[in-house]
Amino acid sequence: MNRQKLFGFLGVIAVATMMTTACAQSDAGITTAVKSKLAADDTVKAYRIDVDTKDKVVTLRGDVDTPAARARAVELARATNGVRDVVDVLTLAPPPAPTSGITEQAKDAARDAGNMVGDAGITTAVKTKMLADTTVSGLKIDVDTKDGVVILIGNVASAAEKRRALEIARETNGVKSVRDELKIVVK
């Protein structure tokens, strides 16, 4: 690089440095610098904080999750070059509702888990009633439940036994419907 280009390059760097320093000292420059610091910090949720600067006095408005986040935001603003004072108008946000952080996939999984427990309970209740009933051969009837729908599969000795098995299933709490796959087999 020749001397003239080197001096030109150094001149550009010097001017850029002076402009950056001058901009950092302006209200807009201070606001930008504070926002940058807040955005880079893990404790502070910068997107929820509004930064305004007037006469080198920074005002912070918005919500923070914790007292530590509030203190950190004020600390970062005070440590910014050119800041004369910081006005803290930040408020602690109320804790999120229990389901606010839950994804649709997690909600579906929770519902499915509830259904499984409910379905297992329904299956157990139907099977127990059938085993206790003298007109139904509960050991020969398979009971499955999916989303509250009970499926009865197996062989029964008569139409009366089939009717009673279906009745027991329909009368069990939580049963939405009953699918009949029972076959009458006479021996």
Where residue 64 sits, what CATH number does that domain have? 3.30.1340.30
* Per-residue confidence (pLDDT) for residue 106, from 0 to 100: 52
Short-list 68, 71, 70, 50, CA closest to 60: 50
Residues 143, 85 share a domain: no
pTM: 0.42
Domain closes at, from 92, 125, 143: 92
Q: Does a structural domain hold residue 9? A: no
Q: Report the number of distinct structural domains present in the chain.
A: 2
Q: Does a structural domain hold residue 5? A: no
Domain closes at, from 64, 92, 120: 92
Residues 62, 128 share a domain: no
Short-list 30, 28, 65, CA closest to 48: 65
* Per-residue confidence (pLDDT) for residue 98, from 0 to 100: 55
Residues 152, 80 share a domain: no
* Per-residue confidence (pLDDT) for residue 52, from 0 to 100: 87
Q: Does a structural domain hold residue 12? A: no
Rounded to 5°, angle at Cα 99 from 95 and 102: 115
Residues 109, 171 share a domain: yes
* Per-residue confidence (pLDDT) for residue 142, from 0 to 100: 86
Q: Edge-to-edge, what's the strand order for the sheet holding 85-92?
A: 49-54, 57-64, 85-92
Could you list the residue range(s) of the whole structural domain that residue 28 is in? Answer: 23-92
Q: Does a structural domain hold residue 14? A: no
Residues 174, 152 share a domain: yes
Q: Does a structural domain hold residue 17? A: no
Q: Give dist(CA 93, CA 30) in Å, integer.
A: 26
Q: Does a structural domain hold residue 155? A: yes
In tens digits, the chain (187 residues) has pLDDT values of 555 554 444 444 444 444 444 445 788 888 878 887 887 787 787 677 888 889 999 999 888 888 888 999 999 999 999 999 999 999 887 765 554 455 666 555 545 544 444 777 788 888 888 888 888 987 888 888 888 899 999 999 999 999 999 999 999 888 999 999 999 998 7
Short-list 121, 174, 169, CA closest to 182: 169
Domain closes at, from 37, 57, 92: 92
* Per-residue confidence (pLDDT) for residue 7, from 0 to 100: 47
Q: Give dist(CA 44, CA 49) in Å, integer.
A: 9
